[in-house]
Amino acid sequence: MKMKLQEVYSALKIKADNIPDVQITGVCFDSREAKDGDLFFPLQGERDGHEFINSAIENGAAASVWQNDHGIPNKKIPYVAVDDVMKAFDTLAKYYLAKVNPKVVAVTGSNGKTTTKDMIASILAVSNNVAKTPQNFNNEIGVPFTILNMPINTEVLVVEMGMDRPGQIDHLSDLANPDVSVITMIGEAHIEFFGTRDKIADAKMEITHHLQEDGLFIYDGDEPLLNERVENVQQRSETFGRNDNNTIFATEVKSDKNQTTFKTNLWPDVEFTIPIMGEYNVNNAMAALLVGQRYHIKVSAMQEALTHLYVTENRTEWLKAKNGADVLSDVYNSNPTAASEVLDNLKNLQTGRKLVVLGDMLELGDSSKKLHESLSSHIDPKDFQKVYLVGDEMKALYDLLVQKYDSQDLSWYSKDQLEKLTEDINKELNSNDTILLKASHGIHLENVLHELI
């Protein structure tokens, strides 16, 4: 970003005299992250952002936005007075997006958003100046932040969009006006707030509401809920999946601990490699390949980009326990789709004994008991020799698994018994074992992980 404070006033349609001659080179909303040249937006969080304006300036911010209902601003610092800070954030983002005028690829989905975003950005960066959502900054604050911090020479912007309520994706799509919209899949994440997968699908489809007229919609063609709704999309659509009626489908999929390889119908003789575990990541890669094809990236270049992929936030990561055991950790996120996929992939790995620690999957509402029970079909003593379950919701799964497991191989703990869980695992875990830890962050399995490694 690069603009004078005078241009910020103009973009926000604010008339003022004697505007300081200040150069703005970025934006921030966390005063601790303020850099030289930033414009600070004092957004309302648990505390009022206006409390941190002075801190932002001390840390290098060149100017601050100031909301009119907060009294007289500190005139010792350059400021922009507005009626609504959040609306000003959005308005400036739309202005800057139009000024830079990149192609925009928007990505949403119940799982795989961040990985797919990284795959798309890696492929398009072969022949374009690409900017992308940092980490998982995918909400009402993260999307305008992403837009406003892209370099002025950006040719393609890859934007991740998350949601936890209806209308949220519509708003984000309106901000970004994508040229390509991607839905990775429809799962059960946040079903507590939506009630049904049908309503989740409706909310995800909002990513097409502001798709450019000549835009492209890319989605999981194996998902009936999306196939039903695509009839209402006027723009061209392409699909990925495992079924052979998709635009692109996978063949010869092989996965091990550190990488996954696959071929596709579009390039039958080309083997793609992604440096992450999980056959479920093949769908994410195929979505990225369709985006790359849209922008005329050579298949050899796409192959190379995926091979050397860097994933921003690979929540599922391999670690080593203190005793040498392999630890597959995903202690910050879990939902039924993600949990079943990682279980299915882990059981196919050729390793020694396998142990599983599963904590509650949160935000599943009235469906929680049934969805926790659904994991039973993915867990069997021949695949996973020891199972440890944590949390009130996991009690439903425990009650089913007692029919399969001997009592010494299946344990349940309340979420305040993590110390006892850690003690029991340490007694059991051998150096040639593999152990999975997966739960929603609210269960705090990271405390168990810390003790193991």
Distance between CA atoms of residues 328 and 348, nearest Å:
14
298 is known to lie in a ligand binding site: no
Residue type, 386: K
Distance between CA atoms of residues 56 and 38, nearest Å:
9
Distance between CA atoms of residues 8 and 79, nearest Å:
10
- The tokens describing 167, both together, are 């209308």
Residue type, 446: E
111 is known to lie in a ligand binding site: yes
- The tokens describing 245, both together, are 């009626």
pTM attached to this predicted model: 0.91
Q: Could you write out the DSSP letters of every residue in 238-251?
A: EEEESSTTSSEEEE
Give the fold, CATH level 3, of 102-307. Answer: UDP-N-acetylmuramoyl-L-alanine:D-glutamate ligase (3.40.1190)
Distance between CA atoms of residues 344 and 115, nearest Å:
19
| Top-tier CATH class for 3-83 | alpha beta
What residue spans define the domains of the chain? 3-83, 102-307, 317-452
Using DSSP bridges, classify how beta strands 63-67 and 38-40 pair: parallel, antiparallel or unpaired.
parallel
Q: What CATH architecture does domain 317-452 belong to?
A: Alpha-Beta Complex (3.90)
How confident is the prediction along the chain (453 residues), in pLDDT tens digits per residue? 889 999 999 999 999 888 999 999 999 999 999 999 999 999 998 899 999 999 999 999 999 999 999 987 777 889 999 999 999 999 999 999 999 999 999 999 988 999 999 999 999 999 999 999 998 899 999 999 999 999 999 999 999 999 989 999 999 999 999 999 999 999 887 777 788 899 999 999 999 999 999 999 999 999 999 999 999 999 999 999 999 999 999 999 998 888 999 999 999 999 999 999 888 899 999 999 999 999 999 999 999 999 999 887 556 789 999 999 999 998 988 999 989 999 999 998 888 999 999 999 998 988 899 999 999 999 999 999 999 999 999 999 999 999 999 999 999 999 999 999 999 999 999 999 999 999 999 999 999 999 999
112 is known to lie in a ligand binding site: yes
Distance between CA atoms of residues 198 and 201, nearest Å:
5
368 is known to lie in a ligand binding site: no
Q: Could you write out the DSSP letters of every residue in 159-200?
A: EE---SSTTHHHHHHHHH--SEEEE-----TTHHHHSSHHHH
215 is known to lie in a ligand binding site: no
- Which residue, among 254, 315, 269, 264, has the nearest Cα to 292 in the 3D structure? 264
Q: Could you write out the DSSP letters of every residue in 40-95?
A: E---BSSSBGGGGHHHHHHTT-SEEEEEGGG-S--TTS-EEEES-HHHHHHHHHHH
Counting DSSP H helices and E strands in the chain, the numbers are 16, 21
142 is known to lie in a ligand binding site: no
173 is known to lie in a ligand binding site: no
